[in-house]
Amino acid sequence: MILGKSRRAGKRVMQGVQRFLERTLKLRINQDKSRVAPTGQATFLGFTFRGVRIRWT
């Protein structure tokens, strides 16, 4: 999970991470599972991210 201040910043960071994983580590990225989302709508491994708070659900 990558968190950023804006959608634009998140997309920029995601592109850099994908490039590193694919070129350097030779890993494939599942595009269906990869996304940039606002922190208010992010749920990952049972944790819900809302603003600056992290809650376990």
Alpha carbons 38 and 32: distance in angstroms, whole number: 17
pTM of the model: 0.66
Every domain of the chain and the residues it spans: 7-56
Q: What is the pLDDT of residue 44?
A: 78
CA distances from 5 to 17, 18, 25 (A): 17, 19, 27
pLDDT tens for the chain, 57 residues long, are: 777 778 898 899 999 999 999 999 999 999 888 888 776 667 778 877 776 655 566
Contact 20, 2 (CB under 8 A): no
**Structural contact between residues 18 and 28, judged by C-beta atoms closer than 8 angstroms:** no
**Predicted pLDDT of residue 1:** 76
Tokens of 37: 């989302």
